[in-house]
């Protein structure tokens, strides 16, 4: 009888000790392992495909309705670039999900990021159906040449516009830039029927009929 009592006492005492650590965040290495597993297991790509499938169904409906409508509009879709159209995953792993802004820009300027497969399918579907596609990205204007090359090499050919963050942009959030970029697309006479991005900040600010958010547990852009 003695042993169970000691065990009971130990449990009671430990219950007084453990709350000290109750708010300890998860170990960074454990989180890194989960991030890699999410990608390598294919779950990440499946989650991306689920969102894109919804976007595709929605776009098909919009195209069909627009064709039937007496007031048909000139339709466009907006796509973000990083973790939406192109994947930086290999670079992120090499930088252990960190890195300085300079290191990240150097990687982007290598212009060798692969396409996110399901996004490329959406892009091709839109272009085939005469929907204009505009890329709006927080990448800076001085990355225009490598970004254009990368998009083209990855299969995003004949896009209708590439709007990049101005060099002198000083807002803390990307939302004002992305919103004004969508407004500039509307001023060209387009109705933005669909907006695709991977950040909450891609979703804010209206000027798109419907927004679809892809998963991205790897970084956060305010
Ligand atoms: Mg992005």
E runs forming strands in 63-209: 75-79, 132-140, 161-165, 191-197
Handedness of CA 79, 48, 129, 124 (dihedral sign): positive
Q: Which helix (H) or strand (E) holds 212?
A: strand 210-213
Say what the pLDDT of residue 21 is: 77
* Ligand 1 centroid from CA 75, angstroms: 22
Say what the pLDDT of residue 23 is: 85
* Ligand 1 centroid from CA 135, angstroms: 11
- Say how far apart CA 2 and CA 90 lie, in whole Å: 57
Q: What CATH number has the domain spanning 27-213?
A: 3.40.50.1000
Count of Cβ atoms closer than 10 Å to residue 176 Cβ = 13
| Average pLDDT for the chain | 93
Three-state secondary structure call for residue 172: coil
Say what the pLDDT of residue 105 is: 94
Say what the pLDDT of residue 20 is: 74
Enter the DSSP assignment of 20: G
Say what the pLDDT of residue 12 is: 62
Domain parsing of the chain, residue ranges: 27-213
- Say how far apart CA 70 and CA 11 lie, in whole Å: 74
Per-residue tokens: 3 = 């042993």
* Ligand 1 centroid from CA 211, angstroms: 13
Dihedral class, residue 83 (left if φ above 0, else alpha if ψ from -120 to 50, else beta): left
How many residues in total does the chain contain? 222
Ligand 1 being an ion, which residues bring their Cβ within 5 A of it?
A: 80, 82-84, 198
In the chain, which stretches have pLDDT less than 70?
Answer: 1-3, 6-19
Enter the DSSP assignment of 82: B
Say what the pLDDT of residue 22 is: 79
* Ligand 1 centroid from CA 102, angstroms: 17
* Ligand 1 centroid from CA 14, angstroms: 45
Say what the pLDDT of residue 3 is: 65
* Ligand 1 centroid from CA 131, angstroms: 21
* Ligand 1 centroid from CA 84, angstroms: 5
């Amino acid at each position: 009888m003695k042993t169970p009592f000691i065990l009971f006492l130990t449990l009671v005492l430990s219950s007084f000790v453990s709350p000290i650590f109750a708010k300890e965040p998860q170990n960074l290495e454990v989180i890194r392992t989960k991030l890699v597993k999410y990608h390598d297991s294919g779950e990440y790509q499946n989650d991306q495909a689920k969102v894109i499938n919804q976007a595709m169904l929605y776009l098909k409906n919009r195209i069909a309705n627009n064709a039937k409508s007496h007031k048909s509009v000139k339709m466009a879709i907006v796509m973000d670039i990083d973790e939406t159209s192109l994947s930086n995953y290999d670079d992120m792993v090499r930088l252990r999900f960190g890195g300085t802004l300079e290191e990240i820009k150097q990687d982007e300027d290598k212009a060798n990021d692969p396409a996110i497969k399901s996004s490329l399918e959406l892009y091709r579907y839109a272009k085939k159906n005469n929907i204009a596609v505009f890329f709006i990205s927080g990448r800076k204007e001085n990355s225009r040449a490598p970004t254009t090359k990368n998009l083209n090499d990855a299969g995003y050919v004949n896009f209708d516009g590439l709007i990049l963050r101005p060099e002198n942009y000083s807002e803390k959030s990307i939302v004002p830039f992305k919103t004004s970029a969508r407004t500039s697309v509307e001023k060209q006479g387009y109705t933005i029927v669909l907006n695709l991005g991977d950040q909450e900040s891609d979703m804010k600010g209206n000027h798109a009929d419907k927004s679809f958010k892809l998963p991205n547990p790897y970084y956060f852009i305010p």
